[in-house]
Amino acid sequence: MLYWRVTRPDFGDAQIDVLADHFSPVLSSPEHIPDEWTLLKARLYLEPQLLTTLTWEDVNRLHRDTCPNVLELIDLILTIPASTADCERGFNIMKVVKSDWRSSLKADTLSDLLLMQLSSPPISEFDPSAAVELWHTDCIRGRRPNFKDCSKQVADTDSDMSDSEADDVVIT
C-alpha cells in the first residue's frame, strides 16, 4: 500500500479539493491548499521509513511554516467526532440535571452543573476535605465562627505547651 502511494503522486488530491471547497468559509486561504498538499506529501515521502513513527504533532511542528493552510484543514477535520456518543451522554446528563423541579435554571448555572457532572471524578474517589476547609476559611465573614479544625487544634496545643507543662498534663 505504501508503494502505491509513493508511485502515485496524485493520491488524495480529489478528496482534498472536496474538503477545501466544503470548509472554505472557515479556512483562511483555501486556494493554497492543493499546492500545499502536494508539497506536504513530497516532504513526508522523502523518508518513507519515518512515516510509521511520525505523530500528528510531529508533522504539525515540522511543516507548520511551509504548509499552514493544509494543516489547518487537517486539524479542522480531526476535531470532528467519530461518533455522537459524547453528545448523547451530555444530553442524558442534562436531562438528569435539568428536571421538572429545576426547569428554570439559567444558562450559566446549567453550564456549571453540567461541567461538574461531566468532568468530576466519581464520588467514591472524591476527597471533600480540601473543599470543606476552603469553604470554612475563604470568606469575608466566618461561616461558622466556633468551627475549629481538630487536626490544627491538636498541633497547636502541642506546640504551645512547654516541656514542664507537658509533663504536668494527666490523661485519663
What pLDDT is attached to residue 4?
A: 46
What pLDDT is attached to residue 148?
A: 61
What pLDDT is attached to residue 74?
A: 92
Dist. CA 82–CA 34, nearest whole Å: 25
The DSSP annotation for 116-157 comes to HHHHSPPGGG--THHHHHHHHHSSSS-SSTT---HHHHHHHH
Dist. CA 21–CA 16, nearest whole Å: 8
Cβ proximity of 53 and 60 under 8 Å: no
Domain-wise residue ranges, the chain = 2-78, 85-145
Location of C-alpha cell 439559567: 106
Mean pLDDT by 10 residues, the chain (172 residues): 56 90 92 92 85 88 93 91 86 87 86 87 85 78 62 52 53 50
What pLDDT is attached to residue 1?
A: 46
- pTM: predicted TM-score of the whole model, two decimal places: 0.49
Cβ proximity of 70 and 40 under 8 Å: yes
Dist. CA 66–CA 35, nearest whole Å: 11
Rg, the chain, Cα only: 30
Give whole-number Cα distances, 164 to 60, 160, 161, 168, in Å. 70, 12, 8, 7
What pLDDT is attached to residue 130?
A: 87
